[in-house]
């Protein structure tokens, strides 16, 4: 569905910024056959030392056509392509698979013109799967991929700017014998005071000979807090995920990871990282999320310090409409270090305004036995995109938990006010008979639902008010011998 919004966005503006592979990502490999029947493999070209520009476009896209006809790629291909210095390859990737060969040649109904005649570089049709593999969201998306597989979203820039990107030193093909490079820190980012944090980093071999050893240090200022001697047999452009061991921190800490063994190029020997100290709180955790128009993309979990899942709502389990609010009460089993994790299947978080929806939010807070706020673990306001985020929790005290709260403490109706339908969400500590009755303000029953025997856990029941007159109603829920009544407004 979001691709529809992306297409509309592309018609309006060609330089918008949505969830894409970030600069510095490793370009996914692909093999594609061009419109002349010639097969091309991205990594084969990169292994030859070529730089590659990928132009993800659509035949109907106005900004794509404007850039295509500006002649930038023709100029680059003439100077640096096969008939020039032979250091560059350019691919036009028609990425809307619903378009036709006629559209590509300018005679169809979904086209801005003839994309084939006069184009000297490679054209690939039906590249929608490659578009998706690169997590693209709009047309045109233009990447420059260096021989080391690292990409930059170069965009709709002029020829000289494109040249400055692919001719830079960090985009050069491997040329030195011994050149290990650190890409990015991949270890833990949160920690409880004094608790060990797993430290790891991705390392690439940019040397022309296989990399067989390197010493890597974690540095806080001028001090090494962890040192690791890596050994292996890494091919040119190969990537190793290096587990460095663990380190403990008593405060928020910025650090660098550095290759300290001798090599032929020290310009790429370091990577930055940071650890934030976990927020202290209680064992009673409240998770609240307001969704945008794509609630099914959201998932979250709470894990302990061994990575075991304490509570989880998987992607695809949340349903509803934009603006709906959901909440969960979680009682973690013991004091210790925990992590709250939230994910979005599309990689844009709950940042719905970029697609014409609304921005949602997510808050995670801890409470005491009296359901009084203690601390905020995580607070996201929907103003930016993410694929995954995490926040640490240092649980230092135990509460009685949801199991010993009253039914009214763990019941809510949302949305409220509402039109036609709303949801009643509640939690039972054990299997129990449940029923609900809706009354108008003069005491007449308008809805009577027998919910049967429900298992222990969280429940959501849809209240259907179709055919009921707008007004204020009282919803009475009975579960496990407890009763609670809530006031709702039907618009």
Give the model confidence (pLDDT) of 463-486 as tens digits. Answer: 899 889 998 888 888 887 788 888
Of 16, 22, 272, 19, the closest CA to residue 151 belongs to 22
Answer yes or no: is pLDDT of 227 > 60.
yes
- Beta strands, E only, 95-167: 122-124, 141-145, 151-153
Answer yes or no: is pLDDT of 399 > 70.
yes
Weakest-pLDDT range from 38-52, 58-72, 190-204, 412-426:
412-426
Cα–Cα dist 21/6, whole Å: 16
Do 100 and 108 form a contact (C-beta atoms < 8 A)? yes
Please indicate whether the domains covering 180-277 and 279-403 agree at the CATH topology level.
yes
CA atoms within 13 A on the CB side of 396: 10
Query: Residue 454 has what pLDDT?
Result: 85
Predicted model pTM: 0.67
Structure tokens at 363: 């808050």
Domain boundaries, the chain: 2-171, 180-277, 279-403, 406-490
| pLDDT band at residue 408 under the 50/70/90 scheme | low
Query: Residue 17 has what pLDDT?
Result: 38
Answer yes or no: is pLDDT of 5 > 60.
no
Cα–Cα dist 118/139, whole Å: 21
Cα–Cα dist 172/182, whole Å: 16
Answer yes or no: is pLDDT of 8 > 70.
no
pLDDT, mean of residues 32-46? 97
Of 463, 409, 416, the closest CA to residue 436 belongs to 463
% of the chain with per-residue pLDDT over 70: 94
What average pLDDT does the chain have? 90
Answer yes or no: is pLDDT of 404 > 60.
no
Answer yes or no: is pLDDT of 1 > 70.
no
Give the model confidence (pLDDT) of 109-158 as tens digits. Answer: 999 999 999 999 999 999 999 999 998 888 999 999 999 999 999 999 99
Answer yes or no: is pLDDT of 411 > 90.
no
Structure tokens at 279: 């927020």
Give the model confidence (pLDDT) of 69-86 as tens digits. Answer: 999 999 999 999 999 999
Question: CA triplet 420, 423, 425: central angle to 5 degrees?
Answer: 165
185: left (phi over 0), alpha (psi -120 to 50) or beta: beta
Query: Residue 400 has what pLDDT?
Result: 61
- In this structure, which CATH number among 3.50.50.60, 3.40.30.10, 3.40.5.90, 3.40.50.300 belongs to the domain 2-171? 3.40.30.10
Residues listed for the chain: 491
Answer yes or no: is pLDDT of 410 > 80.
no
Give the model confidence (pLDDT) of 165-214 as tens digits. Answer: 999 988 999 999 999 999 999 998 888 887 889 999 999 999 999 999 99
Which CATH architecture group holds 406-490?
Sandwich (2.60)
pLDDT, mean of residues 211-223? 96
- Classify domain 180-277 at the CATH superfamily level: Immunoglobulins (2.60.40.10)
The dihedral sign for the CA sequence 384, 388, 394, 398: positive
Query: Residue 429 has what pLDDT?
Result: 73
Structural class in CATH, domain 279-403: mainly beta
């Amino acid at each position: 569905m979001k691709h529809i919004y992306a297409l509309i966005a592309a018609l309006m503006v060609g330089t918008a910024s949505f969830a894409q592979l970030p600069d510095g990502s490793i370009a996914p490999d692909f093999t594609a056959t061009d419109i002349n029947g010639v097969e091309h493999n991205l990594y084969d070209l990169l292994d030859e030392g070529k730089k590659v520009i990928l132009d993800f476009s659509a035949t109907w896209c106005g900004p794509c056509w404007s850039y295509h006809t500006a002649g930038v790629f023709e100029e680059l291909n003439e100077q640096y392509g096969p008939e020039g210095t032979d250091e560059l390859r350019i691919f036009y990737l028609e990425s809307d698979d619903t378009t036709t060969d006629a559209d590509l040649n300018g005679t169809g109904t979904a086209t801005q013109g003839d994309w084939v005649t006069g184009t000297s570089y490679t054209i690939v049709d039906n590249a929608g799967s490659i578009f998706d593999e690169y997590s693209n969201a709009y047309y045109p998306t233009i990447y420059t991929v260096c021989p080391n597989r690292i990409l930059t979203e170069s965009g709709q820039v002029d020829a000289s700017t494109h040249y400055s990107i692919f001719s830079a030193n960090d985009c050069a093909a491997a040329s030195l014998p011994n050149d290990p490079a650190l890409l990015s820190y991949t270890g833990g980012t949160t920690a409880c005071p004094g608790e060990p944090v797993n430290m790891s980093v991705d390392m690439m071999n940019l040397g022309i000979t296989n990399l067989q050893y390197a010493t890597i240090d974690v540095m806080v200022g001028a001090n090494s807090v962890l040192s690791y001697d890596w050994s292996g047999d890494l091919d040119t452009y190969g990537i190793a995920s290096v587990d460095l061991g663990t380190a403990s921190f008593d405060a928020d800490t910025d650090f660098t990871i550095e290759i300290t063994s001798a090599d032929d190029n020290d310009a790429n020997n370091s990577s930055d990282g940071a650890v934030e100290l976990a927020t202290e709180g209680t064992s009673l955790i409240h998770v609240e999320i307001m969704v945008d128009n794509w609630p099914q993309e959201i998932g979250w979990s709470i894990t302990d310090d061994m990575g075991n899942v304490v509570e989880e709502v998987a992607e695809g389990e949340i349903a509803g409409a934009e603006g709906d609010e959901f909440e969960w009460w979680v009682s973690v089993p013991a004091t210790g270090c925990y992590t709250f994790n939230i994910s979005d299947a599309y990689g844009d978080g709950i940042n719905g305004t970029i697609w014409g929806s609304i921005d949602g939010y997510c808050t995670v807070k801890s409470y005491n036995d009296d359901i009084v706020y203690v601390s905020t673990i995580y607070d996201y306001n929907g103003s930016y995109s993410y694929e995954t985020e995490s926040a640490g929790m240092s649980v230092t005290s135990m509460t009685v938990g949801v199991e010993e709260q009253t039914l009214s403490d763990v019941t809510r109706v949302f949305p409220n006010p509402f039109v036609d339908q709303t949801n009643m969400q509640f939690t039972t500590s054990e299997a129990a008979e449940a029923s609900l009755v809706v009354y108008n303000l003069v005491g007449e029953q308008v809805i009577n639902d027998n919910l049967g025997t429900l298992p222990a856990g969280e429940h959501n029941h849809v209240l259907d008010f179709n055919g009921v007159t707008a007004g204020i109603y009282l919803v009475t829920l009975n579960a496990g011998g407890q009763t609670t009544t809530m006031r709702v407004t039907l618009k």
